[in-house]
Amino acid sequence: MAREIQFGKAAIKCGIFTFRCRPQEGGGDRMEKGYLPEERMLPAIHLVRRFTASAGQGHPAAKSVRVVKGYETGIYLTNGGSIIINGERHALQRYHIRFLREGDRVSSEPGYTCDSIYFDFGDSGVFYENEMLAAIPSFFMGNESHAFLFQKIAEYAKSGETGAAAAMNGLLLQMVSGYYHLLHSKEDYSETVKSCLSYMKEHLGEHITLSDLGDFTGYSALHVLRLFKENTGRTPHAHLTKMRIAYAKELLAEGNDPLAAVASACGFDSESHFQSLFKKQTGITPGKYRKYAMQLT
């Protein structure tokens, strides 16, 4: 339970808005929880499979409730049958997608055909999540391009050739981030969030607080914070940092200004704060970044 609270705190800090406390299952088989930055997400694919549950076949496994371990995703290729996820029933149509995670309770009824992948991220025994993964719903409508990705992954899985594993991981990462982008587009952000993002972009070099955004929009700081988390999965502060780092990258790559000047232009309090934050977000120091940028020309 201590770990659960710890993860909850980390999740809130990182902008996961709702931290679902799922019922504890009887078994000692449950995974620990951890937070995994998007940049470090490496899928470990355990199983790729197509399954057809024919109507009336009465496949026993298709009836009983099971509790999901790690992650699984699947795309339905036919109309028919249904899936019950955490008590909610969904009638299955072609290109419906399920994205299930640790602790979800699921059962299904024939008949359907689906392509399924069972996977997790990194070390087995730890269930990793982040704001992107948390924002993907359990059930939604996909499209033909998703079915194509599943099929490609299945082909690579069958081939087992050199280069297949890397390709599968690449496709799965692309698919999962695609789920997120399918459902969370910048165009769908509320006008308030959009105007705050523009405001931040224009005043990047200045000190900007949550109450500044409140004053600017005419709402309370708390309301702005909540809107940001709901719309983007991130706090305004996290956006501001990303924007500042992105602008710093431009300045580092295009000019010869000293680091202190770059830090100041991007609104960082000090050069040392800039240096440490840049390293943390990008993995390399501003100096190295500039060196690589010069090198690549």
What is the layout of strands, in order, in the sheet containing 66-67?
Answer: 66-67, 105-109, 82-85, 88-91
Give every CB contact of residue 9 below 8 A, 6+ residues apart in sequence: none
- Cβ proximity to a copy of itself: between 1 and 297 the closer is 297
3 part of the interface to a copy of itself, by CB under 8 A: no
Q: Minimum CB separation from a copy of itself for residue 186, in Å?
A: 7
Distance CA 62, CA 60 (A): 5
| DSSP string for residues in 82-149 | EEEETTEEEE--TTEEEEEETT-EEEEES-EEEEEEEEEESSTTEEEE-HHHHTS-SEEE--HHHHHH
Among 5, 13, 20, 37, binds a copy of itself (CB under 8 A): 37
Q: Which of residues 164-203 bind a copy of itself (CB under 8 A)?
A: 164-167, 169-178, 180-181, 184, 186
Q: How many residues bind a copy of itself (CB under 8 A)?
A: 70
Q: Does 282 bind a copy of itself (CB under 8 A)?
A: yes
CA torsion 227→232→236→238, rounded to 10°?
150
Number of neighbours of residue 192 by Cβ within 10 angstroms: 18
Q: Which is nearer to a copy of itself, 53 or 277 (CB)?
A: 53
Does residue 150 interact with a copy of itself by CB under 8 A? no
Q: CA–CA separation, 275 vs 9, rounded Å? A: 26
Q: Site for a copy of itself (CB under 8 A): which residue of 13, 40, 201, 226?
A: 40
Tokens 């993964």: give the residue. Answer: 133
**In whole angstroms, what is the distance from residue 197 CA to residue 213 CA?**
10
Listed ranges 5-13, 80-88, 227-235, 257-265: which one lies at the site for a copy of itself (CB under 8 A): 227-235
Q: Is 78 in the site for a copy of itself (CB under 8 A)?
A: no
Which of these segments, 3-11, 205-213, 238-246, 256-264, binds a copy of itself (CB under 8 A)?
238-246
- Contact residues toward a copy of itself (CB under 8 A) are 15, 37-42, 44, 46-47, 49, 51, 53, 59, 61-62, 66, 69, 72, 74, 116, 118, 124, 131-132, 135, 158-167, 169-178, 180-181, 184, 186, 232-234, 242-243, 245-246, 249, 253, 282-284, 288-289, 292-297
